[in-house]
Chain A
Amino acid sequence: MREALAIGGNSALLTRANPLAKFAAVVFITAVLAVSIDWVSAATALAAEFALFGLAGLTLRLLWQRGWPLIIAAAVGGWSTAILSADSGRILVDAGIWSISEGSLELGLGFMLRGLAIALPAILLMSCTDPTDLADALAQKARLPHRFVLGTLAAMRLVGLMAEEWQTIGMARRARGIGSHGTPLQRLRATLGQSFGLLVQAVRRATRLAVTMEARGFGGAGRTWARESTFGRIDIWVVLGGALIAGAALAAAVTAGTWNPVLS
């Protein structure tokens, strides 16, 4: 978890862009893909996103580490759409109530590509954005309340600690004779007990952290920012790039005649 949130060592170009600009670009792309379920727009956006890997300092390996739940969800979604949706065109596979036709395969493929194309920008954003910079931008540029933004940021640091603590509590409980073996019911009870132990520790840590922050003057009205969140020329390119990818996806689908808006 700690590794998943850190972008340490990533010096790619996009790490220098303002998080809000990157967020705007992601919104453009996602908006177009959310409207249609065709495979051409999704494939176009996906291809463009893959081209951005280098700029964001992302590799396929890192992509899998950070985004595997989303990737698997997209694949499963595509597969179930292919076998469950209404058949049209030539039947390719027929297994009783499950069948895959050309039409349903196209729909399933579109669904999967779309899932990936929507998930990927978010992963790209995460991989080249430091949470601290994001918090700075949200508080200074988007004008979200700084108490909320900084409180969340500080709490996120504790999430990594909690992952380590979970392992330790699991071992500590085994050392008390409470194993995670046995019937499903026993395992469930063991997991609940371990969760309770973690909850107690999380509350204690959070309380101490809150005291630390308050003792450093957190929570007052006036505040300055050591790091100024700024927009630069690169941010114009980032927003334009996002709009361009969104436009290209739309244009490709309309040209290919596959544009198929959900709401029409």
Chain B
Amino acid sequence: MAASVAGAAGTSAATRPASVSARGWGWRHAGRTAPAVQGLDLDIRPGERVLLLGASGAGKSTLLHALAGVLGDDDDGADEAGTLLIDGTPPRGQRGRAGLMQQDPETQVVLSRLGDDVAFGAENLAVPRDEIWRRVGEALDDVGLGGLALDHPTSALSGGQKQRLALAGILAMRPGLVLLDEPTANLDPAGVLEVRDAVGRSLDKTGATLIVVEHRVAVWKDLVDRIVVLQPGLSASGAQQSAVLLDGPPAEVLAEAGRMLAAAGVWVPGLVPATRPRSNSGSGELLLAAERLAVSRDPARRRGRVPGRRLPVQSGIDAEVSAGRALTVTGPNGAGKSTFALTLAGLLAPAEGKVSAAVGLAAGAGTDPFKWKAKQLIARIGTVFQEPEHQFVTGTVLDELMVGPRHLGRGAEAVDELLARLRLDHLTEANPYTLSGGEKRRLSVATVLAARPKVLVLDEPTFGQDARTWAELASFLTELLDAGTAVVSVTHDEEFSAVLGGTELRLGSARLEAGAA
């Protein structure tokens, strides 16, 4: 058996593009009452390239997982209806026919050496050894990583490189169907283009069928030849409806339904979501200053140890944070933007130089934010982390919002207002971990603001967000700025910076290159 599989895989050097066909297909995950997908009818021809859009909850990821054969079995308690076929056969049992890339780059890497990681899939398909290494070299060239040594450590790759590595691992399996589930949501703009171009190049070469799920249409629209928009199988009123809302060439779909898609949160090219403009320019009262600051994530040495052992990622940073003003921190990956923001926010000790709070902010708590007690910190500087889940500490949305006020001995007034303002009022009893991406982001901002800090620090707040959450967040921040809060954001998102206004602090990739703009 194994030998015949090896023979078949070894001789099929060329890729055979796969067809996909769904007839009344539906899937309900184990333990859920509502199906994730219902009544899906869809045909994709071999070699077609499809961009799959739809509001969150429309079942896009479920479809991709089903096609990749990783959805689990019916005996797990899940329910399948209708048929879903690749080349006329169910996907499970066709290992290697489809290759799947997910969103989180860290979990797309399996092994610690570059070449081994690419070889992993081909090994599992019992491809002969010589053929594996031939494919590894070819796949790495195709994704533009051919210049790296085969034993290059995968942990030393950037996010964009990790996703290209994952693509190489998929290509080495010679799949007829490439499935990308938000492959660039966690990447900076340069990484997004790297991955998009690598996908385009390799598909031009192999002719494989592509299905990509992504919010940002502009990135993919020239690469795909069809857009399919999914919707939940049950309408809001509970009526059955077709799972496919729209289907056609990109230009047609966008012309016909651009506004509707934008309203549903899809990033439609040429449509920047409307945001609330600022109505004043802030008092400009100085709240927080960084002087000749060097930042590092290495843990601070205890007293009495030799100082200067922490290797800074960035040094010589001067910056000022003022009431009602925005400060945007930009720069390439690895420039130490997040590390700087965390240091400014009193969460990391400065490696050199200092962060000092002005009297108006410190309010009797000393000038060094890092030395403040946690309780003192949250009432003064609030920090929203890139990954909302890192900050969840309770079991319900309401408890989550009450943490800050409770610590500070305050009432729930601020909480009710935030719940309504950030559209979380219908979710008060929900577990934070079960929320959608946009809801998690809104909750993480709300929880920090519940302590009413004068300075708000946000690390990549718009990463992976749909257009609707983006616009709500940006508008909400302009309100905060108008009300006198200082907003510091680390971001690659130029449109977002433009809405907030204020000054830009650009950190260079080389050390000592920093300076306030």
Instruction: List A residues at the B interface (Cβ < 8 Å).
Output: 2, 6, 8, 130-132, 153-154, 157, 160-161, 165, 167-169, 171-179, 181, 193, 197, 200-201, 204-205, 208-209, 211-228
A174-B377, A175-B345 given; A222·B126 CB < 8 A: yes
Name A216's contact: one of B170, B299, B374 (CB within 8 Å): B170
B87-141 with Cβ < 8 A to chain A: 95-96, 98-100, 102, 104, 106-113, 115-116, 119-129, 132-133, 136
Name A217's contact: one of B96, B382, B391, B404 (CB within 8 Å): B96
| Residues of B with C-beta under 8 A to A174 | 347, 374, 377
Q: How far is the CA of A222 from the CA of B10 in the complex (A)?
A: 14
Q: How far is the CA of A57 from the CA of B122 in the complex (A)?
A: 33
Asked if B1 and A222 sit within 8 Å, CB to CB, the answer is: yes
Asked if A211 and B70 sit within 8 Å, CB to CB, the answer is: yes
Residue of A nearest to B407 (CB): A177
Asked if A224 and B127 sit within 8 Å, CB to CB, the answer is: yes
A215-B70, A218-B124, A226-B122 given; A172·B390 CB < 8 A: yes
Asked if A211 and B374 sit within 8 Å, CB to CB, the answer is: no
| Residues of B with C-beta under 8 A to A221 | 1-2
Name B111's contact: one of A153, A179, A193, A224 (CB within 8 Å): A153
B314 adjacent to chain A (CB < 8 Å)? no
B426 adjacent to chain A (CB < 8 Å)? no
Residue of B nearest to A211 (CB): B70
Asked if A216 and B112 sit within 8 Å, CB to CB, the answer is: no
A175-B345, A215-B99, A216-B169 given; A200·B374 CB < 8 A: no
Mark B335-353 against chain A: 1 for CB-CB distance below 8 A, else 0: 0000000100101100000
Asked if B95 and A217 sit within 8 Å, CB to CB, the answer is: yes
Name B403's contact: one of A2, A177, A181 (CB within 8 Å): A177
Q: How far is the CA of A217 from the CA of B2 in the complex (A)?
A: 14
Q: List 27 A-B contacts (CB under 8 A).
A: A6-B112, A8-B153, A130-B113, A132-B116, A157-B112, A165-B390, A167-B299, A175-B345, A176-B378, A176-B393, A176-B447, A179-B374, A181-B373, A200-B433, A201-B389, A201-B390, A211-B102, A212-B110, A216-B120, A217-B124, A220-B126, A222-B5, A224-B127, A224-B132, A226-B122, A226-B132, A227-B119
A175-B382, A213-B110, A228-B129 given; A223·B389 CB < 8 A: no
Asked if A197 and B393 sit within 8 Å, CB to CB, the answer is: yes
Q: How far is the CA of A217 from the CA of B120 in the complex (A)?
A: 9
Asked if A217 and B70 sit within 8 Å, CB to CB, the answer is: no
B155 adjacent to chain A (CB < 8 Å)? yes
B57-80 with Cβ < 8 A to chain A: 65, 68-70
Q: How far is the CA of A98 from the CA of B124 in the complex (A)?
A: 62
- Give the distance to chain A from B393, nearest Cβ to Cβ, in Å: 6
10 extra A-B contacts, CB within 8 A, seeds A172-B390, A205-B104, A215-B69: A154-B111, A172-B383, A176-B404, A176-B447, A176-B448, A179-B373, A211-B102, A215-B68, A215-B100, A217-B173
Mark B459-470 against chain A: 1 for CB-CB distance below 8 A, else 0: 000000000000
- Give the distance to chain A from B51, nearest Cβ to Cβ, in Å: 20
- Give the distance to chain A from B315, nearest Cβ to Cβ, in Å: 20
Asked if A157 and B109 sit within 8 Å, CB to CB, the answer is: yes
Q: How far is the CA of A112 from the CA of B390 in the complex (A)?
A: 44
B451 adjacent to chain A (CB < 8 Å)? yes
A197-B390, A197-B393, A217-B173 given; A226·B68 CB < 8 A: no
Q: How far is the CA of A111 from the CA of B120 in the complex (A)?
A: 45
Asked if B102 and A212 sit within 8 Å, CB to CB, the answer is: yes
Residue of A nearest to B382 (CB): A175
| Residues of A with C-beta under 8 A to B2 | 221-223
Asked if B107 and A205 sit within 8 Å, CB to CB, the answer is: yes
| Residues of B with C-beta under 8 A to A160 | 155
| Residues of A with C-beta under 8 A to B107 | 205, 208-209, 212
Asked if B451 and A167 sit within 8 Å, CB to CB, the answer is: no
- Give the distance to chain A from B91, nearest Cβ to Cβ, in Å: 11
Asked if B116 and A226 sit within 8 Å, CB to CB, the answer is: yes
Q: How far is the CA of A216 from the CA of B128 in the complex (A)?
A: 16
A2-B155, A175-B448, A215-B100 given; A200·B389 CB < 8 A: yes
Residue of A nearest to B155 (CB): A2
Q: How far is the CA of A204 from the CA of B375 in the complex (A)?
A: 30
A172-B391, A205-B106, A218-B124 given; A167·B297 CB < 8 A: yes
Name B125's contact: one of A154, A217, A228 (CB within 8 Å): A217
Name B133's contact: one of A132, A173, A226 (CB within 8 Å): A226
Q: Which 7 A-B pairs have the closest CB atoms?
A: A222-B2, A179-B374, A217-B124, A216-B121, A226-B119, A208-B107, A172-B390
Q: How far is the CA of A171 from the CA of B342 in the complex (A)?
A: 8
Asked if B124 and A175 sit within 8 Å, CB to CB, the answer is: no
| Residues of A with C-beta under 8 A to B112 | 6, 130-132, 157
- Give the distance to chain A from B152, nearest Cβ to Cβ, in Å: 9
Q: How far is the CA of A66 from the CA of B380 in the complex (A)?
A: 41
B385 adjacent to chain A (CB < 8 Å)? yes
- Give the distance to chain B from A3, nearest Cβ to Cβ, in Å: 10
